[in-house]
């Protein structure tokens, strides 16, 4: 029987980087993947010559030069800049919140005029914001909150804004310039040819078993691996002994349309509560596609139930407490490394996943030397 140094559970970005780096230093790895394909949630699939982001739009961005250089080993990135629009009851606003948005909202063209309005509106919040609603109003005032945040957030998270943690909204920039770039990072783009190719390159020459759920047969895999690297959901690993953690799932309704251009932009958010989906993605615009047809996906946010794909961890106080208990169990296991979005129950972007996987690889090497 082949013996592996690492059995890696999950072929997403974290698992693939871990396997790639370990192979480079002569370790033998086996990657187990319960889905029928590699690449986890960054999986892209070609439809009508268009790379479709099957598990939601993925735009790579980072401020860390080393992280950008690391991912650029595996693909060339285009010059895509994410500039989503928000559709509120039929009117379009630019995102993130910037002078274009404010001009549309109030007809005020100078930063000083806009600042006067927002300063007045934010007076409503007197103390440190305690939840997402207060945080949003204290950042951009009530008008923007009511039209561009409240409905979208409640659809996205299935909870009222005053029951959600403030940090969720803090990641969105607020700018007093006419700048529609959604991210403030130095580096940004989409890998030309899609994300799946990146993961294929990382896993080149590494044993991969698709359609294989580690948890169905863990004793068997533990016997042939010196260490386990687990990137699945942490509550599932421990058989939900402290109860299930809450996740949001997303249902994608994807359509091929026989027109070259449906909405003129890669991402349009629907920020009112009447439209049932949160956004429409038009995939070709990520790579400036000129195909005769187009592929669009409507995203419907749903509460996760067993059997669905978990997408977003719900990091409210209650769930973070449950997670801490699972984490204590995980820390006590010497031969299992937990890493990635589901195992850490954290909403990491891809750049953070790269940094985390490389950190864990380094820690493994240091441990070996000790
Ligand atoms: P995953 O990609 O989830 O991989 C985990 C893998 O493990 C999966 O393939 C799963 O099938 C497998 N697995 C789980 N349990 C088992 C088991 N028991 N046995 C075998 N296999 C198992 N990041 C950005 O930087 N930019 C974006 O624009 C962006 N947009 C996003 C949009 C959406 C809708 C979502 C949900 C995420 C987005 N992200 C974005 C985040 C990005 O998807 C993650 O950072 C990244 O995919 C996490 O990689 P991972 O390897 O930790 O997890
Ligand atoms: N958000 C919003 N209106 C928008 C876009 C985002 O209120 O049009 C809020 C919402 O609460 C969301 C959070 O900002 O959960 C973070 O948005 P981001 O685009 O970073 O979320 P993701 O793309 O990861 O779903």
Q: Output the pLDDT for position 370.
A: 67
Q: Output the pLDDT for position 277.
A: 98
How sure is the predictor about 307, in pLDDT bands with cuts at 50, 70 and 90? confident
Task: Tell me the per-residue pLDDT of 108-165, one tens digit each, with 9 for 90 and over.
Answer: 999 999 999 999 999 999 999 999 999 999 999 999 999 999 999 999 999 999 999 9
Backbone angles phi, psi at 142, to 5 degrees: -70, -35
Cα–Cα nearest to 81, from 192, 198, 190, 196: 190
Cα–Cα nearest to 342, from 94, 98, 12: 12
Q: For 226, what's the count of Cα atoms within 13 Å in the CB-facing half-sphere? A: 9
Taking the centre of ligand 2 as the mean of its atom positions, its distance from the CA of residue 169, in whole angstroms, is 7
Return the percentage of the chain with pLDDT > 90, whole number: 95
Report the alpha-carbon distance of residue 352 to residue 195 in Å, rounded: 16
For the chain, give every domain's residue range: 4-81+187-244+313-369, 111-168
CATH superfamily label, 4-81+187-244+313-369: NAD(P)-binding Rossmann-like Domain (3.40.50.720)
Tokens of 257: 């349309």
Residues with CB under 6 A from ligand 1: 9-15, 32-35, 40-42, 56-60, 213-215, 231-232, 250, 311-312, 340-342, 348-351, 353
Whether 2 has a pLDDT exceeding 80, the answer reads no
Tokens of 47: 């439809």
Region 57-70: mean pLDDT is: 98
- The residue whose C-alpha atom lies closest to atom 23 belonging to ligand 2 is 57
Taking the centre of ligand 1 as the mean of its atom positions, its distance from the CA of residue 265, in whole angstroms, is 24
Residues with CB under 6 A from ligand 2: 86, 95, 148-149, 152-153, 156, 168-169, 171-172, 269, 271
Alpha-carbon distance values, 88 to 137, 214, 282, 305 (Å)? 18, 44, 18, 30
Q: Is 162 exposed, middle or buried (0-12, 13-18, 19+ CB in 10 A)?
A: exposed
Is residue 175 part of the annotated active site? The answer reads yes
Is residue 14 part of the annotated active site? The answer reads no
- Peptide bond between residue 348 and the one before it cis (omega within 30 degrees of 0): no
Q: Output the pLDDT for position 316.
A: 87
How sure is the predictor about 367, in pLDDT bands with cuts at 50, 70 and 90? confident
Region 258-281: mean pLDDT is: 98
Mean pLDDT, rounded, of the chain: 96
CA angle at 74 for the pair 73 and 75, rounded to the nearest 5°: 105
From the list 299, 344, 351, 364, the catalytic residue is 299
Task: Tell me the per-residue pLDDT of 86-112, one tens digit each, with 9 for 90 and over.
Answer: 999 999 999 999 999 999 999 999 999
């Amino acid at each position: 029987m082949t013996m592996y140094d690492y059995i890696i559970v999950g072929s997403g970005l974290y698992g693939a980087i871990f396997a790639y780096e370990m192979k480079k230093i002569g370790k033998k790895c086996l990657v187990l993947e319960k889905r029928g394909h590699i690449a986890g949630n960054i999986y892209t699939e070609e439809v009508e010559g268009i790379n479709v982001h099957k598990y939601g739009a993925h735009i790579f961005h980072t401020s860390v030069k080393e992280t950008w250089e690391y991912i650029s080993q595996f693909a060339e990135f285009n010059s895509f800049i994410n500039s989503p629009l928000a559709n509120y009851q039929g009117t379009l606003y630019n995102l993130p919140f910037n002078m274009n948005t404010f001009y549309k909202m109030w007809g005020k063209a100078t930063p000083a005029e806009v600042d006067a309005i927002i300063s007045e509106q934010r007076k409503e919040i007197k103390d440190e914001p305690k939840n997402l609603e207060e945080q949003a109003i204290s950042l951009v005032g009530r008008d923007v909150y009511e039209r561009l945040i409240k409905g979208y957030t409640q659809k996205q998270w299935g909870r009222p804004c005053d029951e959600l943690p403030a940090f969720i909204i803090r990641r969105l920039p607020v700018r007093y310039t006419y700048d529609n770039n959604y991210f403030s990072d130095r580096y940004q783009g989409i890998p030309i040819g899609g994300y799946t190719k990146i993961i294929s390159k990382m896993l080149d020459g590494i044993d991969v078993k698709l359609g294989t759920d580690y948890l169905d047969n863990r004793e068997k895999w533990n016997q042939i691996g010196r260490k386990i690297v687990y990137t699945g959901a942490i509550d599932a690993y421990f058989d939900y002994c402290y109860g299930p953690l809450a996740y949001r799932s997303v249902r994608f309704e994807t359509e091929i349309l026989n027109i070259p251009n449906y909405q003129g932009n890669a991402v349009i958010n629907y920020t009112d509560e009447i439209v049932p989906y949160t956004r429409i993605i038009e995939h070709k615009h990520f790579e400036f596609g000129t195909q005769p047809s187009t592929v669009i996906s409507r995203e419907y946010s749903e509460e996760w139930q067993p059997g669905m794909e978990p997408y977003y961890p719900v990091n409210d106080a209650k769930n973070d407490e449950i997670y801490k208990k699972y984490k204590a169990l995980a820390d006590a296991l010497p031969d299992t490394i937990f890493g990635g979005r589901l195992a850490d129950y954290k909403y990491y972007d891809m750049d953070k996943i790269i940094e985390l996987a490389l950190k864990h690889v380094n820690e493994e090497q240091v441990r070996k030397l000790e």
